[in-house]
Structure 1
Amino acid sequence: MFTLPLPRPVLDAEPTGGAGAFGALPEWDFSALYAGEDDPKLQDDLAQLDTDTAGFAADYEGKLATLPASALAQSILRYEAMDVVMGRVMSFAGLRYYQNTTDAARSKFMADMQNKITELSARLVFYTLELNRIEDATLDAALAADETLARYKPWIDRVRAAKPYQLSDEMEKFLHDKSVVGTAAWNRLFDETMAGLTFTVDGEELPLEATLTLLSDTDRSKREAATHALIAVFRGHLPLFARITNTLAKEKEIEDRWRGLPTPQAGRHLANHVEPEVVEALRNAVVAAYPRLSHRYYALKAKWMGLERMQVWDRNAPLPDSDDRKIGWDDARDMVMQAYAGFDPRMADLAEPFFTEGWIDAPAKAGKAPGAFAHPTVTDAHPFVMLNYLGKQRDVMTLAHELGHGVHQRLAASQGELLSSTPLTLAETASVFGEMLTFRRLLDQAPDQKARKVLLAGKVEDMINTVVRQIAFYDFECKLHAARAEGELTPDQINDIWMSVQAESLGPVFDFVDGYETFWTYIPHFIHSPFYVYAYAFGDGLVNALYARYEEAPEGFQDKYFDMLRAGGSKHHKELLAPFGLDASDPAFWDKGLSLIESMIDELEAMDS
C-alpha cells in the first residue's frame, strides 16, 4: 500500500526553507495522474477498484492453494493492476498534500483517499497471507510450470520472507483497517505540527526550514541565534513529540511481539531484503571509523575556523573561504545535466523531462513539506521530484541526488509495479552516484587550490552527514526502541539517548549547548519509517565502492550500471553487485567505501601542511 515518501537525510542545517530569486522555478504538473480532485477519471478509478477488489476476493479468497500455475499467474497480474490504480490515487493525494501540508482541504482530501484505499485494499489482505500458506513443493512446481509466474518469483520470495511472522487473516485485516487511526494518524499529527511551527530569530518569525537554513549561514551570531530559537520551540513542544514517539514505538513493539519478530529492526531488514549481519557489519565499520572520519574532520574544521572548541551551530557552517554566491536554477540544471551527460548521454536524456515536463516542484513555500524526495508514483506514469531550492551549492547536490532517484525509477519502471520497487538499501545507489558525478565534475573544474579545498570539505561534510550521522541516528533508534520496551520514556530519557550518540559520533572537539538534547524531535524518519536511516549509509558506502570500480575499470561500466538500475527490485543485492566484483556481505566491503572519505580528509590535511 502507498505510503508518503521520505526526504533524503535530515541534517541540522539542510537548506530547504525560504525563497529567493533563482529564476523561474518549476512546479509539478499532475496531469499524468489526475487533472484535479474533481477529475471524473479519479471517481471512475475508485468505482472500478470497488468492483475489481470485490471480484478479486470472490474469485480467489480461500482458493489460492488449489489454483493451477496459469491461474495463479493470472491472479498476480490482476493484483498488480489494482496496485497500480491504488498507487496512482494515493500518489496524487499525497503529493498534493506535501505541496502544502497546512492546507485543510488538501489534508482532508488526502485523509479521505487514504481511508477509501485502506477500505478497498482490505479486501486484498488475504492474498499474500494465502500465498504464504501454499506448500513450498507446490509453489516450486507452479513456478517451474509457468513463465509468467516465474517472472514474479523475486516478489513472491519477498512476500514469503514474512511468512514466519504473519498473523491470522482476521488479525491482519484488523491491523490493516486500524492503520488509518494508528500510525498514519500520528504521522499526520507530526507533519502538520512541524509545518505549523514558527521560530523567532532576531525579531523575525520563520518556519522550520528557513530557521534550519540559518545554521549554515556565514554569520556565526545568526547560527547561534537560530540554534536558540529552535531549542526554545522544540522544548515548548517536547511533551507532544515525546508522546508521539512513545506511542509509535509502543505500537511497533506490540505488533512485533505478536508477529514474533526477533528485534525491532527485523521488520526493516525484511522490507529491505537485506540480512541483519550485513547491516551490523556496516554499523560496526562506521562506528569504528568515527575517530578517523568525523572526529578528525571536525578537529580540522575547528582549526580552519580559528576555534579551540566547536559549538553545535558550527558543525555545518561554511568554511571561511567558501563561495556564498547564490546559484540560479538554470545554472544548477546545467551543472547536473553536464555531469550526467559526461558519464553517459543516456543518463542526461532520462533526466531531461524532469525539467521540461513539470516533474519537479522546486520553490520553497510556506506549508510545503521539508527536505527533498523523488517519488516513483506508478509505473505507467512518471516520478515526481520535490525540492526546496535556495540556490546553495548543497541544493545543487540535492538536485543531483533526487534526479539520480528519478533516473533509477524511470529505468526500473519496465519491471512493472511489483518488481520495480528497489529495497531501500539499493534505492540510494543511483542518487548518491548522481551526486558523486556532479561533485567530481565540479572538482575537476575547480579554478585553484582554494576552490578545490572548499569543494572537498563540502563533500566530506555531506558524506559524514550521510554515513556517520545516519548510523548515529540508527543507534539512537536502536537504543530508544530497546528502552521503550521496558516502559514509557520521559522526554528527559529520550534526550539522554540522543546525546549519548551525538557525543560519540561528532567527537571531542564539540561542546553541546543546553537544549541541543531536543534536536531529535523534528527528524521525520524516526516517526514515518523506523530504522530507515541506515539505508543512506548503506547507499553511500556502496556508491563509494562502486565509483572506485568505475575509476579502476571504466570500460563497459555504464552498461552494467544501467542494467543494475533497470533491474529494480527483481534481484538481490548480491546479484546486482556481482558484475562489479563487489559483495556487501563482506565486512571489508564497507572499509573500502569508508576509505574514500578518509582519503579526502587526508588530502585536506595535506593542504594545510
Structure 2
Amino acid sequence: MKYETSPWDLTEITPKNQESTFKEIERRTNALVKQRTRLTNTISSTTFLSMVKELEELRVISAKLGISAHLNWAANAQDQKATALASHVETFLTKQGNKLIFFNLWFKKLPEKKVQELIKASGKYHYHFEIIRKLRKHTLEENEEKIINIKDTTGVSALTNIYTILTSKFSYDFQGKKRTQEEMVTYVRSSSAKTRKDAYLTLFQPYKENKDLIGEIYKNIINDWREESINLRGYKSPINVRNSVNDIPDAAIQALLNVCEKNEKIFQEFFEIKRKKLKLDKLRRFDIYAPLKEEKEDLSYDQAVNMVLETFQGFAPEFHDAALKIISQNHIHSKVQKGKRSGAFCCPSTIQHSPYVLLSYTGKYRDVSTLAHELGHGVHMTLANMKQTELTSDACLPLAETASIFSEMLLSEKVLKDNPKAAKQMLFTKLDDLYASITRQAGFVRFEIQAHEMMKEGKTIDEMSDVYLKMLKKQLGPKIEVDDIYKYEWCFIPHIYHTPFYCYAYAFGNLLTLAIYELYKEKGPSFARKIILMLEAGGSCEPIQIAKIVGADITSEKFWQKGFDVIKDMVKQIK
C-alpha cells in the first residue's frame, strides 16, 4: 500500500445524529444527578463502583462528541461553522459537567477512613481517586466551581481560541509566493544565510504587528490563572498549579530547571563548533539551525511512514502494531492546507478508539521526525488504553513526552546506521534538536515564571518582551548575535497560551529519555520490556513510581545531569 498525505477520518467518533447524542448525554447526566442521595458517608463499595462505571460510560460518549468537534475545528480553524460547532459543543458539555461536580466534591469531603475503604475497593481506578483527594485543599464550594467552569468556557478558553484563529490566519509573502506557517518553518533551516534571516523576519513580523492584541490575550490568560489558582484556590505559585496537576513535586521540577540552566554552556560550546564548521565570522540566532549540508531531496510521505514503521518494528512489535493501527484507520491529518492549526499534536479519544495525529507534511526529514514523535505519543496512548481505564489511561504531561521523544531517538539511530557517512552531519542535527527541546523549552518556562510575576506587578507587554530578549541572549551566550525581532518569539509559542508551563515536559521528557536510551543501548532488547511496562502504566500511579520502573529518580539533580552528560559526549564526538 502506498501512503499519501490526506485529511483524517473522524467517522468513528463523530455522532451520526448530533441532536440525539446531546439528548443521550443529558439523559445520562440527569440520571446520575438523581442518584446524588446515595452519596453518603456509609455508601457501599458496590454502589460507589456502580456510579463510577456510569460516569465512565458517560465520559466516553461526551469525549467522542467533544473531541470530534475539536479535531474538525483544528483542521479548519478559519471555518465559521467548525468554530461555531466546537464552541456550541464545549458550552453544552460544560453545562452537563457542571451538574456532576457534586460527585468529586462529595468524595473530597469524605472521612479519611471511608476514602481509604473506597480507594482500596476501586481496583484500577485507585490513582484517579487518590489525585482527587490530593487536590481537595484547592477545591471551592459547588456553586463556585460551577461558576468557574462557565467562566472558563466563555473566558480563558475563548481567549485561546481567539489566539489560534488569529495566528492561523497569518499568511506570509515569501520569495514571490503566499506561504503557510509550516512552510515558513522549513525556510528558517535553509542552507542560505540570507534565506534564513528573511524567513525569520517574515515569520515573526505578523506577531510583531499584532503584539498588542496577542499580548493582551496573554495578559488576561495570566491574570485569570493568578486570580483563580493563587487567590481563590490557594496554590503556592503559578507553576505549582501545573506541578500539582502532574502530581510532581515542585522540588523535582526546580531541580530539572536548575540543571538545564547550569548546562547552557554545553550548547554554547556546540554553537561555536558549528560556527567554525559553517565558516561564519559570526553566528546569529538566525543561523543556529543552519544545516551543514543542504537537504536537496524531499522524502515522500510513503517513505516517511515506512521509515517510521520499520524503526518501530526494530525496537518492539508492540510499537509497530500500535502505530500501524493509527495509520491504517486513517487517523492522521498530514495534508498541508490553509486554515489548519499550526504545529503538530496527538489527541487521545477513548480507550476504545485509536488516537488522532495532526501534522503538516512538507517532505523534509524534520517532518519524518515529527511523524515519529506524534506516533510515539499514539503508541503510548494505545499501550495504556489496553491496560488501563478511561480514568487512568492518560499519563501526566512530562511522562507523556517519553515515548514520543524515544521514538525520535530510535529513528535517528536507524538513519545513522543506514547512512554511516552522514553520521557526523546528523549528530549536528540531533544536537540542534536537543537544544530546541531541552534548553530552549526550559527557557520558555523560566520566562513564563517571570512573565506571571511581571503581570502581577502591572508591567507592560513591551517590558515583558524586553525581558524575553534578555533571557534569550543569556541562554545563547555572548558569541551569538540576537536580532531585536526575537523579542516577539514568545508570542509564537502556542503552548504558553493553551497550556501554561507545559514546556518543561519537553525538557523533562528529553533528559529522561536520554538516560533511558543509554540503558536500552547498554542492556539490549531485554530492557525494551521495562519501557513497554512504563508506557502501559499510563496515568495509573504517581509519576515518581512510574519512572522508577526504568530506574529513574526524577527528584534528583544527579539524575537530570545524566542526560546532559550524554549530550556532552555528543559534543565531544563532533569536535
Match of 2:363 among 366, 387, 391: 391
1:51 paired with 2:27, answer: yes
Q: How does 1:223-238 map to 2 (within 5 A)?
A: 223-238=196-211
How far off is 1:27 after superposition? 2.5
Which residue is 2:45 aligned to?
69
Does the 8 Å CA contact 2:325/2:354 hold for their aligned counterparts? no
How far off is 1:43 after superposition? 2.8
Match of 2:72 among 77, 83, 96: 96
1:501 paired with 2:471, answer: yes
Q: Deviations over 1:51-85 (max 9, x none)?
A: 11112122126834342222112222111211111
Letter in 2 for 1:123: K
How far off is 1:219 after superposition? 2.1
Which residue is 2:59 aligned to?
83
How far off is 1:433 after superposition? 0.8
1:109 paired with 2:89, answer: no
Match of 1:315 among 288, 294, 299: 288
Match of 2:531 among 551, 555, 561: 561
Query: What is the root-mean-square deviation of aligned Cα atoms in Å?
Result: 1.6
Does the 8 Å CA contact 1:324/1:392 hold for their aligned counterparts? no
How far off is 1:548 after superposition? 1.1
Tell me how far apart the structure 1 counterparts of residues 272 and 312 of structure 2 sit (CA, whole Å): 34
Q: Deviations over 1:136-156 (max 9, x none)?
A: 112113334x3xx13311001
How far off is 1:594 after superposition? 1.4
Which residue is 2:138 aligned to?
165
SS in 2 for 1:518: helix
Letter in 2 for 1:266: N
Q: Deviations over 1:12-60 (max 9, x none)?
A: xxxxxxxxxx97213211121126xxx22x3332211101111212212
Match of 2:14 among 34, 57, 65: 34
Q: Deviations over 1:208-252 (max 9, x none)?
A: 332233211222222222222234322210110110011110111
1:572 paired with 2:549, answer: no
How far off is 1:322 after superposition? 4.1
Match of 2:407 among 417, 427, 434: 434
Which residue is 1:263 aligned to?
237
1:185 paired with 2:165, answer: no
Which residue is 1:408 aligned to?
380
Which residue is 2:328 aligned to?
356
Does the 8 Å CA contact 1:374/1:405 hold for their aligned counterparts? yes
Does the 8 Å CA contact 1:61/1:127 hold for their aligned counterparts? no
Q: Deviations over 1:488-513 (max 9, x none)?
A: x3221121121122112222221111
SS in 2 for 1:580: coil
Unaligned runs of 5+ in 2: none
Change (3 A) 1:143 1:515: closer
Letter in 1 for 2:10: F
Which residue is 1:9 aligned to?
none
Does the 8 Å CA contact 1:274/1:425 hold for their aligned counterparts? no
Does the 8 Å CA contact 1:374/1:383 hold for their aligned counterparts? yes
Change (3 A) 1:43 1:413: farther
Match of 1:460 among 428, 431, 448: 431
Change (3 A) 1:388 1:231: closer
Does the 8 Å CA contact 1:122/1:173 hold for their aligned counterparts? yes
Unaligned runs of 5+ in 1: 1-21
Which residue is 1:526 aligned to?
496
SS in 2 for 1:599: helix
How far off is 1:524 after superposition? 0.7
Q: How does 1:140-155 map to 2 (within 5 A)?
A: 140-144=116-120, 146=121, 149-155=122-128
Letter in 2 for 1:377: S
Q: Deviations over 1:264-315 (max 9, x none)?
A: 01110011111111101110011000002x2111111111111122222212
Which residue is 2:249 aligned to?
275
Which residue is 1:251 aligned to?
224
1:342 paired with 2:314, answer: yes
Tell me how far apart the structure 1 counterparts of residues 235 and 479 of structure 2 sit (CA, whole Å): 40
SS in 1 for 2:484: coil
Tell me how far apart the structure 2 counterparts of residues 186 and 455 of structure 1 sit (CA, whole Å): 40
Letter in 2 for 1:157: E
SS in 1 for 2:541: coil
Change (3 A) 1:291 1:64: farther
Does the 8 Å CA contact 1:65/1:131 hold for their aligned counterparts? no
TM-score of the pair, normalised by structure 2: 0.96
Tell me how far apart the structure 2 counterparts of residues 208 and 346 of structure 1 sit (CA, whole Å): 34
Letter in 2 for 1:554: G
How far off is 1:406 after superposition? 0.6
Does the 8 Å CA contact 2:75/2:340 hold for their aligned counterparts? yes
Does the 8 Å CA contact 1:64/1:131 hold for their aligned counterparts? no
1:595 paired with 2:565, answer: yes
Q: Deviations over 1:147-183 (max 9, x none)?
A: xx13311001111121111111111110011111111
Which residue is 1:475 aligned to?
446
Count of aligned positions: 572
How far off is 1:540 after superposition? 0.6
TM-score of the pair, normalised by structure 1: 0.91
Tell me how far apart the structure 2 counterparts of residues 143 and 576 of structure 1 sit (CA, whole Å): 19
Which residue is 1:8 aligned to?
none
Letter in 2 for 1:381: H
Does the 8 Å CA contact 2:259/2:561 hold for their aligned counterparts? yes
How far off is 1:482 after superposition? 1.2
Q: 255-264 vs 198-207, which deviates more? A: 198-207
Letter in 2 for 1:225: D
Letter in 2 for 1:81: E
SS in 1 for 2:238: coil
1:220 paired with 2:193, answer: yes
Tell me how far apart the structure 2 counterparts of residues 580 and 218 of structure 1 sit (CA, whole Å): 40
SS in 2 for 1:418: coil
Which residue is 1:545 aligned to?
515
Does the 8 Å CA contact 1:202/1:225 hold for their aligned counterparts? no
Tell me how far apart the structure 2 counterparts of residues 522 and 582 of structure 1 sit (CA, whole Å): 33
Tell me how far apart the structure 1 counterparts of residues 389 and 347 of structure 2 sit (CA, whole Å): 16
Tell me how far apart the structure 1 counterparts of residues 274 and 173 of structure 2 sit (CA, whole Å): 29
How far off is 1:263 after superposition? 0.4
Where relative contact order (Cα < 8 A, 6+ residues apart) is larger, the structure is: 1
Does the 8 Å CA contact 1:194/1:208 hold for their aligned counterparts? no
How far off is 1:430 after superposition? 0.6
Q: Deviations over 1:508-544 (max 9, x none)?
A: 2211112221111121111101000000111111111
Letter in 2 for 1:100: N
Give structure 1 regions of 4+ aligned residues with deviation exceeding 6 angstroms. Answer: none
Match of 1:536 among 506, 520, 541: 506
Letter in 2 for 1:481: H
Q: 306-315 vs 171-180, which deviates more? A: 306-315
Does the 8 Å CA contact 2:454/2:464 hold for their aligned counterparts? no
1:367 paired with 2:339, answer: yes
Tell me how far apart the structure 2 counterparts of residues 118 and 538 of structure 1 sit (CA, whole Å): 32
